[in-house]
Amino acid sequence: MKKHLIASILVFFLTSIIHASVQTHPITFDDFIRIKRISDPQISPKGNLVAFVVTEMDKEENKSNSDIWIVSIKGGKPWRLTSSPKADFNPRWSPDGTKIAFISTRKETPQIWMINPRGGEAYQVTSISTGASGIIWSPEGTHLAFASSVFPDCPDDECNKEKNEKKEKSLVKAKMFDELLFRHWNSWQDGMRSHVFIVSADGGKADDVTPGNYDTPPISLGSSHDYDFSPDGKEICFVRNIDPELKLGLGTNNDLFTNSIKGENIKKITSSRANDNSPHYSSDGRYIAYRAMARPGFEADKNSLILYDLNAEKRANLTENLDSSVNEIIWSNDNKTIYFTYEEKGRISLSRISLKNKKIEKILQGHTINSLQISPDGKTIVFLKQAIHTPSEIYSYDLKAKKLVQLTNINSDLLANLNMNPAEEFWFEGADRDKIHGFLLKPPFFDSSKKHSLIMLIHGGPQGAWMDNFHFRWNAQMFTSPGYVVAMVNFHGSTGYGQDFTDSISGDWEGKPFHDIMRGLDFLLSNYDFINREKLAAAGASYGGYMI
């Protein structure tokens, strides 16, 4: 009897320990701030390592800090390469793999620094007064291209420095503008333009290769891939908008240009009045792949994948029959295939297209991925993957074995203590009897026998969409944490459901989206008994606030 009692006590004690070790709680704001944000994975030239950025928040200091980390492409424990009290980000491997260039705010302005990937002291490469961003290496590894916001009429850096100092010392802080666009989201132009510069990898004077009163990348509808070196390193392709309509805030006419790295021969290579951006040279120098819209002035038009033949000066639409907008583009190493991502029903899918037969092959669906990289041997794709209940981590995908492998687990200890549910999906009949898609998120420790208040989140745009992602601005888990059920409807006008669906609200932002939201609410109340129909709320920003 005594032995059985001791055994029972021991079992109870061990069970209590196990239960305590896995006890979880709803996510709090402090938990949310503690989540490390992973970004910008970059495969080394040898294909054995991946450099990436980890950003951490400091609530007490009200600031963030970023450092560069490295992990094996096979996974395992990552290691921190930089540990500056200032931000280190945008890592880019040199073509020979012996150095990593990166942007750092260690001095007053962000500059290009260099470090050995095996460790050691970093050293500064640029000292341009207006700062540097967006590094890319020339193919032979002798030069770096970067962007910097400068005064367009300044011939050199000394002029920019003097103008900035004069502006800082001036007692007049009013801003005067006589043309658009002068502000985009939360950034001011303030008389300056973003230009692309080229500098020796050993440092020295940086040369402006996109001079003039224009922006590269453009202030509107630009991307982080709006300039690229040609494979021989003699030329750069970039995006800018020279349309007079831009000054009226009307045009979307971004075009592709080329110029020699000496800045002597600017040539426009696109003529569409709509948006063209994100140029990528093939490694043999024959083609430039890029994204293009077809309708001038329409920011929510479909982005097609275009192939431009530099020799024949002809172009072809490779995704004409794909009813989705292309996001990211990467070439295969043999130049026979282009991989690309696109939004699809609340997630980001991966496909590839053969240049020989123009057939599109689906590679990966049902996930939300971004920041594509391809290994030097062409066998592995590396990217960030996330979901509504898991922040981004780095994954690899073996193209032949079709095997998905998680390479990093940066937030595993924190997430193990949080109770967060994955998104559930629902479909219902909306306006025009169209099928409408939505996500439903249940609160922590959900009990279906109880009644729960509902929050309907309404996305912005309206040409946008709720995604199965861990959003750091509109985080659905933070709404469920107090016990709410959260619903997110991708109403008419949302992206990722075909261009006709996006276009269906042009000229009528109030009609179909409103009916979809209300019919979605009716569907939820009719099909989920645990929703308290007496306690309903809605929240949204931008267009979401307008709809409310």
Using an 8 Å Cβ cutoff, are 271 and 296 in contact?
Answer: no
CA 198 to chain centre: 25
Task: Say how far apart CA 12 and CA 16 lie, in whole Å.
Answer: 6
Strands 63-72 and 123-124: unpaired
Coil, strand, or helix at residue 489?
strand
Q: Which of 28, 55, 16 is nearest to 411 (CA)?
A: 55
Query: 405: burial class by Cβ within 10 Å (0-12, 13-18, 19+)?
Result: middle
CA 338 to chain centre: 19
What single-letter DSSP state applies at residue 421?
Answer: P
Residues 6+ apart with CB under 8 A from 344: 324, 365, 496
Backbone angles phi, psi at 480, to 5 degrees: -80, -25
Task: Say how far apart CA 99 and CA 122 lie, in whole Å.
Answer: 10
Diameter over CA atoms, the chain: 95
Task: Write the Ramachandran bin of 259: left for phi over 0, alpha for psi from -120 to 50, otherwise beta.
Answer: beta
Task: Say how far apart CA 526 and CA 511 lie, in whole Å.
Answer: 23
Backbone angles phi, psi at 413, to 5 degrees: -65, -45
For CA atoms 79, 81, 87, 93, give the dihedral sign. negative
- The structural domains of the chain, with segments of one domain joined by +, span 213-366, 424-547
Provide the token pair at 337: 């295939």
Entry pTM: 0.93
Helices (H), 209-354: none
- HSE-up (13 A, CA, CB side) for residue 438: 29
Say yes or no: do domains 213-366 and 424-547 share a fold. no
Residues in the chain: 548
Query: 244: burial class by Cβ within 10 Å (0-12, 13-18, 19+)?
Result: exposed
Per-residue pLDDT tens for 274-324?
Answer: 999 999 999 999 999 999 999 999 999 999 999 999 999 999 999 999 999
- HSE-up (13 A, CA, CB side) for residue 155: 0
Omega of the bond leading into 462 within 30 degrees of 0 (cis): yes
Q: Which of 351, 261, 328, 333 is nearest to 45 (CA)?
A: 333
Helix, strand, coil share of the chain (percent; to 5):
15, 40, 45
Question: Is 213-366 a domain of CATH 2.120.10.30?
Answer: yes
Please state, in angstroms and as integers, the Cα–Cα distance from residue 458 to each residue in 300, 346, 394, 452, 535, following that order.
Answer: 18, 14, 29, 19, 17
Task: Say how far apart CA 131 and CA 396 lie, in whole Å.
Answer: 34
Backbone angles phi, psi at 58, to 5 degrees: -120, 100
Coil, strand, or helix at residue 1?
coil
Residues 6+ apart with CB under 8 A from 548: 458, 538, 539, 540
Question: Is 424-547 a domain of CATH 3.40.50.450?
Answer: no
Per-residue pLDDT tens for 62-120?
Answer: 999 999 999 999 999 999 999 999 999 999 999 999 999 999 999 989 999 999 999 99
Cα radius of gyration (the chain): 26
pLDDT truncated to tens, each residue of the chain (548 aa)?
Answer: 444 445 444 444 444 444 444 699 999 999 999 999 999 999 999 999 999 999 999 999 999 999 999 999 999 999 999 999 999 999 999 999 999 999 999 998 999 999 999 999 999 999 999 999 999 999 999 999 999 999 999 999 999 999 999 988 999 988 888 777 777 777 777 789 999 999 999 999 999 999 999 999 888 787 778 999 999 999 999 999 988 877 667 789 999 999 999 888 899 999 999 999 999 999 999 999 999 999 999 999 999 999 999 999 999 999 999 999 999 999 999 999 999 999 999 999 999 999 999 999 999 999 999 999 999 999 999 999 999 999 999 999 999 999 999 999 999 999 999 999 999 999 999 999 999 999 999 999 999 999 999 999 999 999 999 999 999 999 999 999 999 999 999 999 999 999 999 999 999 999 999 999 999 999 999 999 999 999 999 999 999 999 99
Residue 124 burial (CB count, 10 A): 13
